[in-house]
Structure 1
Amino acid sequence: MTNIRATVVIPTFDHGPLISLAVDSALRQSVPVEVFIIGDGVPEAHKPFLHELAAREPQVRFFDHPKSSGRGERYRDAALAHAQGEIVCYLCDRDLWLPDHVAQLLALLQGADFAHSLPLHVRDGQVLFFPLDLAHPAYRSQVLRRGNRVPLSCAGHTLSFYRSLPEGWSDTPHGLPTDWHMFRKFLFRPECRCASGVLPTAITFPSPPRKDWPPQARMSELQAWQERIVDPVQRQALVLQLLQMAIKARDQELAAYLGRI
């Protein structure tokens, strides 16, 4: 493959058929990408699909590993040694991207080392937003010290800056969220330039509130969102709706902040 603009990392363990929709959204990107599916103890029953997918799609590679003690962090680091993209983007195996997600991160990372799209979660039938501007020292300090506000599927960074870090993906200390542990390695470095996107190009579906859902219910939820994303008219209406909701969420957070000072 030539002219690869981004390496897409999709860690996976046991979300089964949901990953088919996640991968599809990665392959629909408006710029050329390579897709690294990084297995961390994938059940044997799910492996044939992933091997077949990698054989069918030249952009896709499946890295099959036994279950690690954590979330396969070291597997991610090892895979990135083979990356060819200018940037690295992450996609959870149960999330979806709009077709211009990677293009947006590429634009943001022209002047930054770490960036993200508009952070949001779909939860309990609602869309929750996490207003954030990592270019502002106060927000950067908040993420460093209080907790992560950037879902994995929203995040990206340049490959060159990742390779300059003293340590990349590594085993997460007990009690810390995996993504936050990695992202802080960027944010702790003063020379790391950060950028926050304002467009909703990644739709995230966190697992904890869905832990009791049957597999078909989760698949049906993603399929309904995928239909809105794939159709250009529905996608435009979705983006406008999400932007309006995000502005309201930002204003509410700002009002709460002003009320505390």
Structure 2
Amino acid sequence: MSDRMRMKVKATVILPTTKERAPVLPYSIGSILQQTEKEIEIFVIGDGVDEATRLVIQGLMLEDDRIRFFDHPKGDRRGETYRHQALSEEARGEIVCYLLDRDLMLPNHIELMYAHLQEHNFCIHTSLSVLENHDIEFARKPFFGYYSHADGPSLATKGYYLFSQVGHTLEFYKELPYGWRVTPSSFPTDIYMWQQFMAHRSLNLTSTQDPTILYFKRGDHPGWSAERRAKDLAKFYPLMTSDNAVQDFQRLATLNLLKERERLASETIIIRGKTLSHLPGRIIQKLKTLFVKRW
């Protein structure tokens, strides 16, 4: 191993990918390369990639030597054991960040994650959801603040945190009993992983209001094709290069939030002297639509 390969860096970024993902990778990987924190390494974990995807990754590696490609055959579930092998044997980062190959990192994601993980060992940022109509909204998240294992049960340990929102120290990862492993079919792979952290006695978590991820959910797995996803990423990716990218995206999300609240205010329902069980079904459904799903 070269001296350079032995040198510590501030962050290792895990980006898993698989076959037919060539169109989206220049955008997702590109958003990592544009981070304000430059002292990073990017681990692209291949789980049965096809030749077109492989060629795109190899081309990106020629442009930036911080990218490393772990080219594996298709494994069980999402190739979780490949992530564990890379983190256990190859990672040099003080912290570990994650990015889905369909998402984008705002330029300050790793810089802020690194700062938070100086005093904590697990961190959850929030995200900005890009809707199919290209509106941007703040993702709903039930918990902001600090939590340690000694505090007892908390919303922090029960929430659904997206793959790209999470960061942790490499040291904490190596304390876990298993790390990334094959996930039972009834669990999302990321949630199954986060449960190990939440159950560990060393957990020292912070959940912040920093919106540093652009989240593009486009249907359940497998959802939209990579070609169709890439069109969405291409629309927003140029905005990532702006000096004011973070503020611009937050401003768009805030404007959409204000519009949504104005719409809700105009649809106020007045209920006189009735319990929920006495309301017509259409009114109950309206309430669920306006409040449960939204907030």
User: TM-score w.r.t. structure 2 length?
Assistant: 0.76
Name the one with the larger strand percent. 2
Equivalenced residues, count:
249
Query: How far apart are 1:247 and its partner, in Å?
Result: 9.6
Partner of 2:123: 115
Gaps of 5+ in 2: 148-152, 265-290
The whole-number CA distance in structure 2 between the counterparts of 1:230 and 1:48 is 25
Partner of 1:198: 209
Partner of 1:44: 51
Letter in 2 for 1:23: I
Q: Deviations over 1:74-125 (max 9, x none)?
A: 0000011211110000011111011110011011111111102113432333
Q: 1:67 aligns with which of 63, 66, 74?
A: 74
Partner of 1:156: 167
The whole-number CA distance in structure 2 between the counterparts of 1:187 and 1:212 is 29
Task: Determine if contact 2:13/2:98 at 8 Å carries over to the other structure.
Answer: yes
Q: Percent identity?
A: 33
Partner of 1:23: 29
- In structure 2, relative to structure 1, the CA distance for the partners of 1:188 and 1:227 (3 Å cut) is same
The whole-number CA distance in structure 1 between the counterparts of 2:49 and 2:12 is 21
Query: How far apart are 1:139 and its partner, in Å?
Result: 1.2
Letter in 2 for 1:224: K
Gaps of 5+ in 1: none
Q: Deviations over 1:50-71 (max 9, x none)?
A: 1232243210100000001210
Could you tell which deviates more after superposition, 48-57 or 205-214? 205-214
Could you tell which deviates more after superposition, 187-196 or 129-138? 129-138
Task: Determine if contact 1:11/1:93 at 8 Å carries over to the other structure.
Answer: yes
Task: Give the superposed CA RMSD.
Answer: 2.7
- In structure 2, relative to structure 1, the CA distance for the partners of 1:154 and 1:246 (3 Å cut) is farther
Q: 1:129 aligns with which of 110, 131, 139?
A: 139
Q: Deviations over 1:156-192 (max 9, x none)?
A: 1000000011110000012100000001100111320
Q: Deviations over 1:126-174 (max 9, x none)?
A: 435122326255312423xxxx2x1111111000000011110000012
- In structure 2, relative to structure 1, the CA distance for the partners of 1:243 and 1:156 (3 Å cut) is farther
Letter in 2 for 1:85: G
After the TM superposition, which residues 83-122 of structure 1 pair with which residues of structure 2 at under 5 Å, given as runs?
83-122=91-130
- In structure 2, relative to structure 1, the CA distance for the partners of 1:211 and 1:167 (3 Å cut) is closer
Letter in 1 for 2:210: L
Task: Determine if contact 2:128/2:253 at 8 Å carries over to the other structure.
Answer: no
Letter in 1 for 2:183: T
Letter in 2 for 1:9: I
The whole-number CA distance in structure 1 between the counterparts of 2:236 and 2:105 is 10
1:172 aligns with 2:172: no
Task: Determine if contact 2:107/2:246 at 8 Å carries over to the other structure.
Answer: no
Partner of 2:158: 142
